[in-house]
């Protein structure tokens, strides 16, 4: 009997990197990609030509996070290759061909989120990224470059950028490449069409003329140009504050793990595999939140908002990759709800203090990870429990919510100022604004103080249902069992369609349009059938396509 693969872990540290080297020199950091060919996260493939798998991207995500928190004085980050004449050949094709459909989709989603984190670091931490392409840059490698602020390409007659997925693999670029080419780099549609069907890519002057790169440099001057551009990017923009000189250390999370649970300091994830459900509980702070800026700085990585967000993020990643059959997740809170309100108040009182703003940003990024997670989320408040402030975002992120209407121990909701725009969704709106999209008078009228009980929350639209204490257990049980019995494919499509009301952004297009198409294409015989393009890649036979357009 074959054993199941070991669970994937999402925490790492630069001392344990196998594929990246992070160096910080003053205001410039360098991330060098030199992938260990034998270092795949699963056996069965070699990571040649700086191709990458999930393990490579887990390290990249860690490096981006540490640069923001541990090295905030860094103004420019150079991403480059440690191999000669190769930047990256993109996601490893043999890894993709041998992976389950669910893994492929979640892998693409994770890499998308990492590239979005790079762009958020540029905007939110003023750390600008420069992709130094001293060789061939294909597929996911070019998609990584597209996430950077600038792309410098060696002008040597052979270095090229390409998105070869359509002509070579019968799939789409999986990490936002098509969207960023036209939305971010403003490449003309017809040129983007040509580029996306040229397996060999585009070099030199044409790449610059078409807007696929920002600069060229002959190989003899390439290193000099990289230094010049990094120095220019490291200079703070006019009108911005000087860079913070000291950061904080992101300590390891070190959760306690059992057969049916993962328990962190503020977050607990429990599994009921027989029912195909999980319960994700976020605890209020147990210790008083720092009273002022000095105390906040001293608290460092233990600040509740930051630590809680890191733990919740890790739990969501584990849920996605390690527990694919758990379809319904109950979101709950525990602890003193007043402690959450006070923590939110004090965090807001710190205003634009670096650690306060970075902590809010980290919470927002984690909540967007939840928004993009293909699970049915039900927010549940048992008698006496309350979704407050930052934790009320869990309720607003849920697909539906159930609050017990118990007169003795009322469940409820309480808003804080952080619910009014600090934690924006991919559509650029707060979850409250998205919830009441098209009814802005009601949205504006919700700004009040104090808790709202379950019945009133249902009346105001802050909760979906408020069963009384007599019907509570039966109504909740039936709802969970019904949801767990629906087609997971239909639910994934339905939830993704309903979660993002309002305007489209580059981020919503990446996840709502590109990822949805890729999800479908990854299951089609033209890609993954016996003679599909992904299956026959690297073999002597050519793919055999079903030529009917669908």
Length of the chain, in residues: 550
Tens-digit pLDDT profile for residues 456-467:
999 999 999 999
216 within 8 A of 208, measured Cβ to Cβ: yes
What is the rounded average pLDDT for all residues in the chain? 94
- Helices and strands in the chain: count of H runs, count of E runs: 22, 20
Rounded average pLDDT over 487-494? 93
Pairing assessment for the beta strands 160-162 and 202-203 based on DSSP bridges: antiparallel
Tens-digit pLDDT profile for residues 204-240:
999 999 999 999 999 999 999 999 999 999 998 775 6
The predicted structure's pLDDT at residue 279: 98
Domains of the chain: 16-234 (3.90.226.10), 258-498 (3.90.226.10)
Q: What is the DSSP letter of 23?
A: E
DSSP 295-307: HHHHHGGG-HHHH
Tens-digit pLDDT profile for residues 29-49:
999 999 999 999 999 999 999
432: pLDDT strictly greater than 50: yes
**514-537 exposure pattern, b = at least 16 Cβ within 10 A, e = fewer:** bbeebbebbebebbbbeebbbbbe
Instruction: Report the C-alpha gap between 242 and 146 in whole angstroms.
Output: 27
The predicted structure's pLDDT at residue 154: 98
SS3 content of the chain, % helix, strand, coil (to 5): 45, 15, 40
The predicted structure's pLDDT at residue 2: 47
pLDDT band, very low/low/confident/very high, at 3 (cuts 50, 70, 90): low
**227-248 exposure pattern, b = at least 16 Cβ within 10 A, e = fewer:** eebbeebbeeeeeeeebeeebb
Tell me the C-alpha to C-alpha distance, in Å, between residue 408 and each of 331, 353, 469. Answer: 23, 41, 10
Tens-digit pLDDT profile for residues 365-408:
999 999 999 999 999 999 999 999 999 999 999 999 999 999 99
The predicted structure's pLDDT at residue 331: 98
Residue 294: phi and psi, rounded to 5, are: -65, -45
pLDDT band, very low/low/confident/very high, at 242 (cuts 50, 70, 90): low
- Which parts of 399-471 fold into alpha helices (H)? 431-435, 440-445, 454-460
1: pLDDT strictly greater than 60: no
Rounded average pLDDT over 166-187? 95
Tens-digit pLDDT profile for residues 142-166:
999 999 999 999 999 999 999 999 9
Rounded average pLDDT over 270-292? 95
- Which parts of 71-181 fold into alpha helices (H)? 93-97, 101-124, 140-146, 177-179
| Residue 174 burial (10 A CB sphere; 0-12, 13-18, 19+) | buried
- Greater model confidence, 538 or 312: 312
Instruction: Report the C-alpha gap between 204 and 212 in whole angstroms.
Output: 10
318 within 8 A of 262, measured Cβ to Cβ: yes
517 within 8 A of 494, measured Cβ to Cβ: no
The predicted structure's pLDDT at residue 470: 93
The predicted structure's pLDDT at residue 245: 79
70: pLDDT strictly greater than 80: yes
* Helix (H), strand (E), coil (C) string for 469-521: CCCHHHHHHHHHHHHHCCCHHHHHHHHHHHCCCCCCCHHHHHHHHHHHHHHHH
Instruction: Report the sign of the C-alpha dihedral through residues 126, 127, 132, 133, in that order.
Output: negative
Residues 6+ apart with CB under 8 A from 27: 73, 74, 75, 76, 234, 243
Most confident of 27-36, 92-101, 521-530: 27-36
Rounded average pLDDT over 267-288? 97
| Residue 206 burial (10 A CB sphere; 0-12, 13-18, 19+) | middle
- Greater model confidence, 443 or 338: 338
The predicted structure's pLDDT at residue 34: 98
The predicted structure's pLDDT at residue 155: 97
Residue 36: phi and psi, rounded to 5, are: -75, 110
Instruction: Report the C-alpha gap between 260 and 213 in whole angstroms.
Output: 48
Rounded average pLDDT over 293-306? 94
């Amino acid at each position: 009997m074959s054993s199941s693969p070991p669970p994937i872990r999402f925490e790492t540290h630069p001392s344990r990197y196998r594929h990246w080297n992070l160096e910080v020199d003053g205001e410039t950091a360098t991330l060098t990609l030199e992938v260990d060919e034998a270092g795949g996260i699963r056996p069965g493939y070699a990571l040649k030509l700086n191709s990458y798998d999930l393990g490579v991207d887990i390290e990249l995500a860690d490096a981006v996070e540490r640069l923001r928190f541990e090295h905030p004085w860094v103004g420019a980050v150079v991403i480059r290759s440690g191999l000669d004449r190769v930047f990256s050949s993109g996601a490893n094709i043999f890894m993709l061909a041998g992976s389950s459909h669910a893994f492929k989709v979640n892998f693409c989603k994770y890499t998308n989120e990492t590239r979005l984190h790079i762009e958020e670091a540029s905007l939110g931490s003023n750390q600008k990224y420069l992709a130094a392409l001293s060789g061939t840059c294909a597929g996911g490698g070019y998609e990584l470059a597209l996430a950077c602020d600038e792309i410098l390409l060696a002008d040597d007659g052979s270095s090229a950028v390409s998105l070869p997925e359509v002509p070579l693999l019968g799939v789409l670029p999986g990490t936002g490449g098509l969207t960023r080419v036209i939305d971010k780099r403003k490449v003309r549609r017809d040129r983007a069409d040509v580029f996306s069907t040229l397996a060999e890519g585009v070099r030199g002057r044409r790449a610059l003329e078409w807007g696929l790169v920002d600069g060229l440099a002959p190989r003899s001057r390439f290193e000099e140009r990289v230094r010049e551009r990094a120095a220019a990017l490291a200079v703070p923009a006019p009108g911005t504050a000087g860079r913070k000189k000291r950061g904080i250390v992101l300590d390891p999370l070190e959760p306690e793990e059992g057969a049916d649970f993962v328990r962190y300091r503020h977050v607990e994830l429990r599994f009921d595999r027989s029912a195909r459900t999980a319960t994700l509980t976020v605890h209020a702070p147990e210790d008083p939140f720092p009273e002022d800026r000095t105390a906040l700085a001293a608290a460092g990585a233990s600040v509740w908002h930051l630590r809680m967000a890191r733990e919740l993020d890790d739990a969501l990643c584990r849920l996605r990759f390690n527990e694919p059959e758990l379809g319904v997740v109950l979101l709950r809170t525990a602890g003193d709800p007043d402690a959450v309100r006070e923590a939110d108040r004090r965090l807001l009182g710190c205003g634009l203090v670096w650690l306060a703003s970075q902590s809010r940003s980290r919470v927002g990024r984690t909540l967007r990870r939840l928004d993009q997670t293909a699970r049915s989320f039900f927010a549940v408040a048992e008698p006496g429990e309350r979704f407050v402030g930052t934790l009320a975002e869990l309720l607003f992120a849920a697909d539906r919510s159930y609050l017990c209407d118990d007169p003795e121990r009322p469940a409820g909701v309480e808003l804080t100022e952080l619910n009014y725009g600090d934690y924006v969704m991919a559509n650029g709106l707060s979850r409250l604004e998205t919830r009441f999209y098209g009814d802005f008078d009601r949205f504006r009228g919700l700004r009040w103080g104090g808790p709202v009980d379950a019945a009133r929350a249902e009346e105001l639209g802050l909760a979906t249902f408020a069963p009384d204490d007599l019907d509570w257990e039966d109504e909740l049980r039936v709802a969970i069992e019904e949801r767990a019995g629906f087609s997971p494919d239909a639910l994934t499509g339905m939830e993704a369609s309903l979660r993002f009301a309002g305007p489209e952004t580059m981020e919503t297009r990446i996840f709502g349009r590109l990822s949805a198409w890729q999800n479908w294409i990854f299951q089609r015989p033209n890609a993954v059938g016996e003679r599909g393009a992904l299956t026959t890649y690297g073999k002597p036979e050519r793919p055999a396509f079903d030529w009917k357009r669908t």
